[in-house]
Amino acid sequence: MLNSIIEFSLKQRLIVILLSMALFGYGIYSFYKIPIDAFPDISSTQVKIILKAPGMTPEEVENRVVKPLEAELLGLENEKLLKSTSKYAIADITIDFNDGTDIYRARNQVSEKLASLLPTLPKGVEGGMAPITTPLGEAFMFTIEGNISPKEKRELLDFVIRPVLRGAKGVADVNSLGGEARAIVVQPDYTAMRHLGIPLSTLQDTLEKNLKNDGAGRVDANEESYLVKVQSGVKDASEIANITIHSHNGPIRVGDFCEVRDDSRTRLGFVTKDGVGEATEGLVLTLKGANAQETISQIKERLDQLKPMLPAGVTIVPFYDRSNLIEKAVGTVSKALMEAIVLVIILLMVFLGDVRAAIAVSVILPFSIAIAFLLMKYFGLSANLMSLGGLAIAIGMLVDSAVVVVENAFAKLSENDTSLPKLHQVYRATKEVSTAVFSGILIIAVVFLPLLTLEGLEGKLFAPVAMTIVFALFGSLFLSLTLIPVVSSLILKSAPHKETFIGSFFTRLYEPMLHFAMTRTKTLFTGAIVFLIISFTLFAFVGKSFMPTLDEGDIILGIETPPSISLEKSKELNLAVQRTLIEHVPEIKTIVARTGSDELGLDPMGLNQTDTFITLKPQTEWKAKNKDEIKRKIEASLKNFPGISFSFTQPIEMRISEMLTGSRGDLAVKIYGNDIDMLNELSQNIADTLGGIKGSSEVFTTLNEGVNYLSVKPNRTESAKTGVDTAELELFLKTALEGVTIDELSIENARIPVLMRFDGEVSQDMELFKSLELPLSDGFSVPISSVAQIETSEGALKVDRENGQRYSTVRANVEGRDLVGFVEEAKQKIDANVKLPKGYTIVYGGQFENQQRAAAKLMTVIPISIGVIFLILFFTFRSVSSTALILLNIPFAVTGGIISLYFSGEYLSVPASVGFIALFGIAVLNGVVMVSYFNTLLGNGYSIDDAVQEGARRRLRPVLMTAFIAALGLLPLLFASGVGSEIQKPLAIVVLGGLVTSTILTLLILPPAFKMIYKKGK
């Protein structure tokens, strides 16, 4: 079949050229149509439920909201994990489904359960499913600057900016943070209510009945129909004040005993900026699967459209723009790709010594890359750091097949055989190597298939690498048997060729080495075995980790204070931290920090938790040498803030960690059990143990305690004597502090909530709170302290649950040593130092969990792929011995990779494993080229000695070209320093080291080994 394809291509050269040009054009078109992002979509199919339960403590939220939902949500189709966090006034429930589950099918299942459960939850609990976004959907953040009040900024964000941005393609929602969310507050005077005999429940009912308009039906008159609307609803605060309510003294206006004013909602968080004061922040969330680059472009266009609609002097100032990271990450790998192409073309000219031959080989690069883009569009892959990185890795391999074809045609035409036409000589030359090319490319493709079996984060990251490499390889295979022979027949000359200087140099260098290998075979083999043994012993000294940390440019400083901190004190502390950082770290451009819960509840932090976004100046303006030095400066400047925990992360890194384990860190130790106090004790013991291990950094556990509680326990006997209803007492207390939402008013474009809430002084003064008197309908009032016991205590900050069980987490980052070695030591010390009570278990997660899963999968799948390669080689050569000889290249290639990892100080990570996989293919391809040519010469009547000697000399150039091209193709990745280079560097180090040893094996050990096996077979 291969011969038929080659023959057709050379007979129909015009058709082949036209079809190739069409493919190239469609490939370029596909490149402009595929989505562009920094990373592949690494999120799982996830549905998030956010429920707000005003006034409820974490344990009440757990018992009254989360547990009923868990009972129904556990066991959904394709459900993988259900986890929840119960905090003050909020429940955050996350359901992970198996990869491949349709997001809309998953949401539909959850929606059905939620619809039936919400009416059964306590009154006042509201919320639902979060937008269809991912943990990495935070693509664009901005603040509103200008000389207007925080309330006006928030109203501008909620009702002008947010609707406009939500209309942009790819935007899931716009989250509002900071500022003061406007509300109309009805503030009762409970002393006046006592005299009037109006209980709070009566005021609540009256307000609820009078805030809505309604319809009555239709009236016909004079052959026309009139729709009747009852305009009982109010439009502003003054109309609320005029609502009539019945009292002991007869009808009375609400405004006579209540103050109705324009105010704000109860705050659960705030945003601060640059140590100056509070700010109002907008956070744009992208839809799952959206084209991030295109979405951000649309966001910027809409922000430009909004400028005329903003009040005078008000501006929108972005401080986080994902497109910057996208451009840097894609730019890094694109630059490496272009540099690799240029280097490869230069090398081809140097080795072949003929511009025409170099052009004939180089043609394969743009065309095979275009085919890869075409297939990326067809299979829905985005252009990102990983997929484009796959093309950069593949550059050397793409040229291999064309090098073999063109080099052989070049050699045939150089013989200047006038008995055959040039077209027929090219056909014969291509036919000679077609089997080796086909099996070689097929083998390289098979080598990368294990990457497609990876699961979880590593699978989502490296499957695009494997797919783009395979796409480009199959494109190069197709072109090597069609377009490349055609181009060779058109531009190569039938003339004797003078060997290049570099070719002569390597030939002179190689011949004595080959002579030594053929005559001192035992010495050579002994040395090779010793080398193998020594090299593999180094493997034990190479550290293991999951993934190098990607430098995103920006820094997030996590701040955790004691759980009992107040909102005002937390704000004061954060502003002090920011002023200190700006004063001592000149590399900082701006700081925006968000504390507490956001509006949508997607990140339900407490008032003691702050994510501080630190944007750095351009690197040319830094005084520090690198980002690590900036972190050290930050740490040094924060030493004057005792009792506060600080941690470093990055925007995407933070969300990936949270998505994987629900917490942030390289290692997350989860302790499962029921008693919160016992979980706290075990967590502290484990944190102390981890802190004493070499390499531990930022060891942290949030002890589930320290929140001050003021418990109000009704005395039912006293309540019965005074006629106080428990529900009335709860309503009174909630109105006194949090406030009770009555309804919402439509005022112009805004939806403004109406709250019933006492004076803010009550929430600031405990003695005033204890002295409150509950008004009754008979004109009397009862001190709450007489019908309830009021006492202070400490309690839980939050309750974390996973699959129906409580758990606590200890997290740690690892610096200066490999992750796997750290975790193994941690396991041993925790087993020795921490005794688990019955019913308690420990699970190790975080990045370590991913590393273990990836390693286990690769250890299973790689041997299978080597077995498939063995079968391909066997059917190619029909010889077990030849097949085994070629596979001998693999361990020698691995030794070079191990040595390079050891001396470079890099760890064996998933990218390094991908490098080893790439090495397998390159090493086997070189072996196939050499052995197939030996067989060809034997078939032409050469003796075994002459076949091996002549074959080794003739294959020297293509073997060296393959090695040098692959090496030069990876050099730009090795020396790249932009965003994303951290992931590609370990791969390049492994391949470059392995190329050296595998090339030496191919040139020096393979020829005598083939001769020995051949003679034994005879």
pLDDT of 418 = 64
CA proximity to 269, closest of 552, 741, 596, 693? 596
> Domains of the chain: which residue ranges?
1-33+353-498, 499-541+879-1017
CB 129 within 8 A of CB 112: no
Burial class (CB in 10 A: 0-12, 13-18, 19+), 304: exposed
Assigned token pair, 571:
């704000």
Residue 661 pLDDT more than 60?
no
**CA 337, CA 359: separation in Å to the nearest integer?**
18
Residue 403 pLDDT more than 70?
yes
Task: Identify the band that residue 165 occupies on the pLDDT scale cut at 50, 70 and 90.
Answer: very high
Range among 52-56, 119-123, 641-645, 706-710 rated most confident: 119-123
Beta strands (DSSP E) in 642-719 are: 645-649, 667-672, 696-701, 707-714
Range among 118-132, 432-446, 814-828, 922-936 rated most confident: 118-132
Distances (CA, A) of 824 to 290, 815, 828, 836: 40, 15, 6, 19
**CA 300, CA 286: separation in Å to the nearest integer?**
14
Assigned token pair, 134:
């991912």
Using the structure block, give the residue that is written with the tokens 């072996």. Answer: 927
For the segment 332-347, the average pLDDT, to the nearest whole number, is 76
Distances (CA, A) of 680 to 576, 677, 799, 802: 30, 5, 12, 17
Beta strands (DSSP E) in 168-243 are: 171-178, 182-188, 214-221, 224-230
Distance separating the N- and C-terminal Cα atoms of the chain: 32
Residue 599 pLDDT more than 70?
no
Using the structure block, give the residue that is written with the tokens 């200890």. Answer: 810
DSSP character at residue 159: I
pLDDT of 416 = 64
CB 646 within 8 A of CB 597: no
Share of the chain above pLDDT 90, in %: 10
CA proximity to 858, closest of 925, 922, 908, 928? 908
Assigned token pair, 840:
């308690």
pLDDT of 432 = 79
Task: Identify the band that residue 590 occupies on the pLDDT scale cut at 50, 70 and 90.
Answer: very high
Residue 348 pLDDT more than 80?
no
pLDDT tens, 495-512? 666 667 777 888 888 888
CA 485 to chain centre: 44
- Lowest mean pLDDT, pick from 316-330, 491-505, 516-530, 863-877: 491-505
pLDDT of 65 = 92
The 3-class secondary structure across 387-439, one letter per residue, is HHHHHHHHHHHHHHHHHHHHHHHHHHHHCCCCCCCHHHHHHHHHHHHHHHHHH
Distances (CA, A) of 116 to 93, 107, 110, 123: 17, 14, 10, 15
CA proximity to 402, closest of 506, 500, 494, 488? 488
Task: Identify the band that residue 979 occupies on the pLDDT scale cut at 50, 70 and 90.
Answer: low
Same topology, domains 1-33+353-498 and 499-541+879-1017? Answer is yes
Angle between helices 521-537 and 1006-1017 (to 10 degrees): 120
Beta strands (DSSP E) in 796-915 are: 799-802, 805-814, 841-846
CA 77 to chain centre: 25
Task: Identify the band that residue 733 occupies on the pLDDT scale cut at 50, 70 and 90.
Answer: confident
Please state the φ and ψ torsions of residue 534, each to the nearest 5 degrees: -60, -45
pLDDT of 325 = 78
**Helix spans in 227-321 (H):** 237-241, 292-306
pLDDT tens, 602-629? 667 878 889 899 998 888 888 888 888 8
399 C-beta neighbours (distance < 10 Å), count: 28
pLDDT of 498 = 67
Range among 269-283, 644-658, 786-800 rated most confident: 269-283
Beta strands (DSSP E) in 312-359 are: 315-321
For the segment 417-422, the average pLDDT, to the nearest whole number, is 71
For the segment 838-866, the average pLDDT, to the nearest whole number, is 80
For 311-338, b/e burial (b = at least 16 CB within 10 A) is eeebebebbbbbbbbbbbbbebbbebbe
pLDDT of 417 = 65
pLDDT of 860 = 81
Pairing of strands 182-188, 750-756: parallel
**CA 398, CA 472: separation in Å to the nearest integer?**
7
pLDDT tens, 452-461? 887 777 778 7
Mean pLDDT of the chain: 83
Assigned token pair, 898:
């191990």
For the segment 692-709, the average pLDDT, to the nearest whole number, is 78
pLDDT of 294 = 86
For residue 52, the SS3 value is strand
pLDDT of 273 = 92
Task: Identify the band that residue 664 occupies on the pLDDT scale cut at 50, 70 and 90.
Answer: low
pLDDT tens, 99-110? 888 889 999 999
pLDDT tens, 296-308? 999 999 999 998 8
CATH superfamily of 499-541+879-1017: Multidrug efflux transporter AcrB transmembrane domain (1.20.1640.10)
CA proximity to 107, closest of 79, 81, 69? 79
Residue 662 pLDDT more than 60?
no
Angle between helices 322-352 and 364-379 (to 10 degrees): 150
Q: What is the pTM of this model?
A: 0.76
Rg (CA), the chain: 36
**CA 472, CA 478: separation in Å to the nearest integer?**
10
**Helix spans in 211-291 (H):** 237-241
Residue 663 pLDDT more than 60?
no
pLDDT tens, 884-940? 888 888 888 888 888 888 888 888 877 888 788 878 777 787 788 788 878 888 888
Domain 1-33+353-498 is found in CATH 1.10.357.10: no
**CA 375, CA 187: separation in Å to the nearest integer?**
65
pLDDT of 12 = 87
For the segment 373-402, the average pLDDT, to the nearest whole number, is 82
pLDDT of 823 = 83
Please state the φ and ψ torsions of residue 938, each to the nearest 5 degrees: -65, -35
Pairing of strands 781-783, 788-795: unpaired
**CA 617, CA 631: separation in Å to the nearest integer?**
14
pLDDT of 280 = 92
pLDDT of 980 = 64
Share of the chain above pLDDT 70, in %: 95
Residue 551 pLDDT more than 80?
no
pLDDT of 108 = 93
For residue 369, the SS3 value is helix
pLDDT of 592 = 93
For the segment 120-146, the average pLDDT, to the nearest whole number, is 85
pLDDT of 660 = 58
